[in-house]
Structure 1
Amino acid sequence: MKNELLNRTKKFALDCWHFCFKIPKSREYNAFVNQLIRSSSSVGANYRASQRAKSTADFINKLKIVEEEADESVYWLEIFEEILSGQSEEKIKLKQEGKELLAITVASINTAKRNRK
């Protein structure tokens, strides 16, 4: 499961990058593109960091960052749904993957908290 999530979080960042690459270049779009690229890549980077945590508390703290960044990525994808015409399959898949990564992360945090007690 660990390697699967490492790969999934990296793929999510790359898929968001490819999505953003196709968005027209303008001052207005660029602000949102930069935010999505930052948050989606942070999901994978912080999940990877969580795998090297020094303690359970450190692990949970790093996963909380993953949770925040996954949620933010979903937010930016929702913004793109509003401002880009049409419901593309790519947007739908990216948003679904963001929500799934968010749910997995929350479940992992809850499990880590229960196991800590």
Structure 2
Amino acid sequence: MNQPKSEGRHQKAEVRRSEIGDRLLSFAVDVVRFCRRLERTPTSRYVANQLMRAATSTGANYREACSAESRADFVHKLQLVLKETREAEYWLQLLSRSDFVPDGALAPLLGEVDQLIRIMVKSVVTAKSKA
């Protein structure tokens, strides 16, 4: 049985939202696990806390965006997700450049945060174009 085109698009959008939400949650979990393994110094604790705050808020803000009350609210909340994702990238880069971890240890997280930023940029642009 064929579905109307709009219904099919709606289902695809829901699946896509679920996949992005899952990736953001997995990213946050990976960051939390990584931060647990960092050496416990005042400096590393500070950076780890900032990184965890930014990384864990991405998924929470994305869930809020998925329940937005209007298109403008949706765009605003997606922009918050993008902002927090970029902040997480900053803290990861700081850890990498400050020799807190061996070279390459952050490559998977840096790769994932880069992809998430690209996804969120595209999502914001698309959402704005439909507003």
Structure 2 length normalisation: TM-score? 0.84
Report percent identity of matched pairs: 34
- Shift, 1:115, TM fit: 1.2
Can you list the C-alpha shifts for 1:67-105, whole angstroms capped at 9, x where unaligned? 11000000000011012242234x111011111111111
For residues 1-117 of structure 1, the aligned pairs below 5 Å read 1-83=16-98, 84-89=100-105, 91-116=106-131
CA distance in 2, matches of 1:107, 1:85: 31
Unaligned runs of at least 5 residues, structure 2: 1-15
CA distance in 1, matches of 2:47, 2:102: 18
Structure 1 length normalisation: TM-score? 0.94
Structure exhibiting the larger radius of gyration computed from Cα positions:
2
CA distance in 1, matches of 2:119, 2:101: 30
Can you list the C-alpha shifts for 1:20-79, whole angstroms capped at 9, x where unaligned? 000011111111000000000011110111000001100000011101100000000001
- Shift, 1:2, TM fit: 1.1
Equivalenced residue count is: 115
RMSD of equivalent CA atoms: 1.0
